Amino acid sequence: MKAENDINDRSIVYSPGIEEIVGSTMTTRGAADNVASLPREISAGIFWLSACLVVRDGARLVHNHNSCFLIVGRDSTVLVDNAMPSGWPDIRDQLAAILRGRTLDYLFPTHPEAPHMGNCGPLMDQYPRARLVGDLRNYHLYYPGAEHRFVTMAAGEELDLGGRRLVFVPAVIRDLPNTLWGYDPDARVLFVSDAYPYTHQHEAGQCGMTAEEMPEAVRPEDTDVVIERALIWTRYVDAEVVIEELEAFLGSYPADIIAPAHGGVITNPKALTAVFEAGLRRVRRPRD
Ligand SMILES: [Zn+2]
Ligand SMILES: [Zn+2]
CA angle 244-82-79, nearest 5°?
Answer: 85
In a domain, 82, yes or no: yes
In a domain, 8, yes or no: no
Count of structural domains within the chain: 1
Measured in Å, residue 120 CA sits from the centre of ligand 2 at 22
Measured in Å, residue 155 CA sits from the centre of ligand 1 at 19
In a domain, 7, yes or no: no
Q: Are 49 and 66 in contact (CB under 8 A)?
A: no
In a domain, 177, yes or no: yes
Predicted confidence at residue 287, as pLDDT, reads: 64
Where residue 135 sits, what CATH number does that domain have? 3.60.15.10
Evaluate the CA torsion angle 268, 257, 206, 83 in order and state its sign: negative
What does residue 123 show for φ and ψ, rounded to 5 degrees?
Answer: -70, -40
In a domain, 37, yes or no: yes
Predicted confidence at residue 200, as pLDDT, reads: 63
Predicted confidence at residue 36, as pLDDT, reads: 62
Measured in Å, residue 262 CA sits from the centre of ligand 2 at 10
In a domain, 169, yes or no: yes
* Ligand nearest to the CA of residue 65, numbered in listed order: 2
Measured in Å, residue 26 CA sits from the centre of ligand 1 at 27
Predicted confidence at residue 7, as pLDDT, reads: 38
Measured in Å, residue 230 CA sits from the centre of ligand 1 at 6
Measured in Å, residue 268 CA sits from the centre of ligand 1 at 21
Task: Quote the pTM value.
Answer: 0.86
Measured in Å, residue 146 CA sits from the centre of ligand 2 at 32
Local confidence pLDDT in tens for the 288 residues of the chain: 333 344 333 333 344 444 444 433 333 333 334 446 788 899 999 999 988 887 777 777 778 889 999 999 999 999 999 999 988 998 999 999 899 889 999 999 999 999 999 999 999 999 999 999 999 999 999 999 999 999 999 999 999 999 999 999 999 988 899 999 999 999 999 999 999 888 766 777 788 889 888 888 888 888 877 787 778 888 888 889 999 999 999 999 999 999 999 889 999 999 999 988 988 898 887 765
Measured in Å, residue 53 CA sits from the centre of ligand 1 at 11
Domain interval for residue 261: 19-283
In a domain, 156, yes or no: yes
Predicted confidence at residue 179, as pLDDT, reads: 96
Measured in Å, residue 128 CA sits from the centre of ligand 1 at 26
* DSSP string computed for 248-273: HHHHHS--SEEEESSS--BS-HHHHH
In a domain, 238, yes or no: yes
Strand 106-108 vs strand 77-80: parallel, antiparallel, or unpaired?
Answer: parallel
Predicted confidence at residue 253, as pLDDT, reads: 97
